[in-house]
Structure 1
Amino acid sequence: MQSESYVFDPRPDYPLVTTAKRYWHPKFYSEDSDALTLIFTHGTGFHKEHWEPTIEDLYAALEKSSKPPKICDIWSLDCANHGDAAVINEQELQWGYSHVFAWEEYGRSIHAFLTGQGVGVPVDFSKRRLVAIGHSMGAISHMLLTTLPVPVTYSAMILVEPMLLPPPTMIPDSDALISGAQRRRDIWPSRNAAYEILQSRPSWKIWDPRVLKLFVEHGLRDLPTATYPDKQEGVTLICPRDQEVACYSDKLGRSRAYKFLPTLCSRLPVHFIWGSISEPYLTTETKDYVSHTVAQGKAASVAKVPNAGHLVVQINPTGLAKAIYDVLRQEMARGQPSEPTVVSRL
Structure 2
Amino acid sequence: MSTLSSQTYTLDPRPSFPLLISLKVYHDPQTTSTDPDALTLVLAHATGYIKEVWEVWSIEAPNHGEAAERNRRDVDWCYRPVFRWEDYARSVHLVLSGGGTGVDLDLSQHRLVGIGHSMGGVAVMLSTTFYPALPYASLILVDAMLGPYTSASDAVRGVLVGGAEKKEDTWGSVKEAREGMLKRGVWRAWEARAFNTFIKYGLKPVDKKVPNGAVTLVTPKVDAAASFRDPHGLTRGYLYLSDLVKRAPTHMIFGKIGDSLPNFIRDDVINVASGGKDKLASVKLVEGAGHLVTVTHPKELASSIFDALQITGASLPPSATKSESSKSKM
Asked if these proteins are the same fold (TM beyond 0.5), I'd say yes
Cα gap change, 1:286 to 1:174, in 2 (>3 Å): closer
- The answer for the alignment partner of 2:287 in structure 1 is 306
Which residue is 1:244 aligned to?
224
Counterpart secondary structure, 1:173: helix
Tell me, yes or no, if structure 1 residue 199 matches structure 2 residue 179: no
The answer for the alignment partner of 1:120 in structure 2 is 102
Q: CA deviation at 1:337?
A: 6.8
Give 3-state SS (helix, strand or coil) of 1:324's partner: helix
Kindly report which structure 2 residues correspond to 1:158-197, keeping only aligned pairs within 5 A, or say none.
158-168=140-150, 169-197=152-180
1:286 — aligned with what?
265
Give 5+ residue unaligned stretches, structure 2: 321-330
Q: What is the rounded CA distance, in whole Å, between the counterparts of 1:95 and 1:121 in structure 2?
A: 27
- 1:286 deviation in Å? 2.0
Structure that is richer in helix per residue: 2
Instruction: Give 2:20's match in structure 1, choosing from 1, 7, 17.
Output: 17
Q: 1:143 aligns with which of 111, 118, 125?
A: 125
Q: Which amino acid in the other structure matches residue 265 of structure 2?
A: T
1:333 aligns with 2:314: yes
CA contact (8 A) 1:18 1:79 kept: yes
Report the TM-score, using the length of structure 2 for normalisation: 0.90
Q: Is the 8 A contact 2:37 2:319 kept in 1?
A: no
Of 124-133 and 175-184, the range deviating more from structure 2: 175-184
Q: Aligned partners of 2:38, 2:248: CA distance in 1, in Å?
A: 17
Deviation of residue 170 (structure 1)?
4.2
Deviation of 1:81 (Å)? 1.0
The residue number in structure 2 matching 1:264 is 244
1:3 maps onto 2:42 in alignment:
no
Distance 1:150 1:337 in 2: 23
**Residue number among 213, 217, 233 corresponding to 1:253 in the alignment:** 233
What amino acid is aligned across from residue 84 of structure 2 in structure 1?
A: A
SS at match of 1:164: coil
| Match among 38, 42, 62 for residue 41 of structure 2 | 38
- Give the partner amino acid of 1:29: T
1:318 aligns with 2:299: yes
Taking the aligned partners of 2:32 and 2:223, their CA distance within structure 1 comes to 37
* Maintained 8 Å contact 1:199/1:205: yes
- TM-score, normalising length from structure 1? 0.86
Q: Secondary structure at the match of 2:10?
A: strand
In the TM superposition, what whole-angstrom CA distance separates every residue of 1:218-250 from its partner, at most 9, and x where no partner exists?
11111148xxxxxx9511111111111111110
- 1:68-87 equivalence runs, <5 A: 74-87=56-69
Decide whether the 8 Å contact of 1:191 with 1:216 is kept in 2.
yes
Contact 2:86–2:126 (CA<8 Å) still a contact in 1? yes
Provide the rounded CA distance (Å) in 2 between the counterparts of 1:166 and 1:14: 29
- For 2:192 and 2:72, locate their aligned partners in 1 and report how far apart those are by CA, in whole Å: 29
Identity of paired residues, percent? 40
Question: Structure 2: how far apart are the matches of 1:10 and 1:181?
Answer: 29
User: Which residue in the other structure is 1:223 paired with?
Assistant: 206
Q: Check conservation: 1:165, 1:171, Cα contact below 8 A.
A: no
Residues 127, 267 of structure 1: CA spacing in aligned structure 2 closer, same or farther, 3 A cutoff?
Answer: same
Verify the 8 A CA contact 2:203 2:215 in the aligned structure 1.
yes
Is the partner of 2:54 in helix, strand or coil?
A: helix
Is the contact made by 1:37 and 1:131 (CA closer than 8 Å) also made in structure 2? yes
Post-superposition offset of 1:11: 1.5
Q: Deviations over 1:199-218 (max 9, x none)?
A: 22111101011111111111
Given that residues 5 and 21 in structure 1 are in contact (C-alpha distance below 8 angstroms), is that contact kept between their aligned partners in structure 2? Answer: yes
The corresponding residue for 1:131 is: 113
Any conservation in 1 of the 2:156–2:261 contact (CA below 8 Å)? no
Report the AA paired with residue 263 of structure 1: D
8 Å contact from structure 1 (residues 33, 128) kept in 2: yes
- Given that 1:292 and 1:299 are in contact with CA atoms closer than 8 Å, whether structure 2 keeps it comes out as no
Distance 2:315 2:73 in 1: 46
